[in-house]
Amino acid sequence: MSVIDREILALCRDVTERVILPRYRNLADHQVEDKGGNDPVTIADRESEVALQEGLAKLAPGLLCVGEEAAHEDKSVLERLKGPCWIVDPIDGTRNFASGQPPFGILIAQADHGVAQSGWIYDCLSGRFCAAHRGKGAYVGGERITARTTGEDPPVAAISLIFMDDTKRAAMIEHICPNYRLTDIPYCAAEQYPRLALGENDVSIFERTLAWDHAVGCLWLEEAGGKVARPDDGSPYRVDEWDRKGLVAAATPSLWDDMAARLNSLEA
């Protein structure tokens, strides 16, 4: 494990133990709010973001940070995604955390000019730690991994429908879903991306593609040998395309190709 990996792991453990877990299953009603569109935020999200930013500032003084909660309060924060920056999801899977259920985790990425260069995924309950650096592979707990499929036929798909409009959702249910064995979506990118590399899921569709949710997972899965890209044109994920919708992630390029072809046939 590299020096930066060990430092990020130590930071995630500290914030989890000191800030996040004391609030788990211990939230008062007034400590949970809806940011709109059934998108909750808790006091723990805000406290975690502050603690993580303080820790990251010590690791790379002067590097700007894009935190989910800061960006919600001030949209101009998103402009930082165009340059060198940290990207932080202080509690990924807040919906689960707020209801007292797993999974939930911490996502941290380091990006430069719209492209994630390094990323880390920490599962707050299990302690699973995923790390990736562009061109250097994907790791779980310090061991390099290669993405593997479930081996099932039809392939196992986790399809998130919650942010789609009614027309698109109906088309997905009618034309895409029957070609796969559907599985639950964990409402947590910190869980969904590992599932795609560790033989639990084969392919996943995301409608909303915010940087704090996907910067790490896209890099990590691709470094493991999977594929993540925009289905309409096959372009790679960029953190500075914050308004763009639609993303397919798969354990192998061929699984990605199959899903993208099906999605594009809907538009033909």
pLDDT at position 268 is: 61
In a shared domain, residues 205 and 94: no
In a shared domain, residues 262 and 203: yes
Residue 190 included in any domain:
yes
Mean of the per-residue pLDDT values for the chain?
96
In a shared domain, residues 136 and 165: no
Query: What is the residue range of 124's domain?
Result: 3-145
In a shared domain, residues 185 and 116: no
In a shared domain, residues 172 and 263: yes
58 neighbors 204 (Cβ within 8 angstroms): no
Residue 91 assigned to a binding site = yes
Other Cβ atoms closer than 10 A to 113: 13
Q: Per residue in 56-114, pLDDT tens?
A: 999 999 999 999 999 999 999 999 999 999 999 999 999 999 999 999 999 999 999 99
Residue 263 included in any domain:
yes
Residue 92 assigned to a binding site = yes
Residue 56 included in any domain:
yes
Q: Which of 145, 166, 198 is the last residue of a domain?
A: 145
- CATH number, domain at 124? 3.30.540.10
Residue 151 included in any domain:
no
Residue 89 assigned to a binding site = yes
pTM, rounded to two decimals: 0.95
Residue 7 banded pLDDT, cuts 50, 70, 90: very high
Q: Per residue in 120-142, pLDDT tens?
A: 999 999 999 999 999 999 999 99
pLDDT at position 131 is: 98
- CATH number, domain at 221? 3.40.190.80
Q: For residue 191, give the nearest of 149, 115, 130 by alpha carbon.
A: 130
Secondary structure of 55-112 in the HEC alphabet?
A: HHHHHCCCCEEEEHHHHHHCHHHHHHHHCCEEEEEEEECHHHHHCCCCCCEEEEEEEE
In a shared domain, residues 218 and 134: no
Q: Per residue in 42-51, pLDDT tens?
A: 999 999 999 9
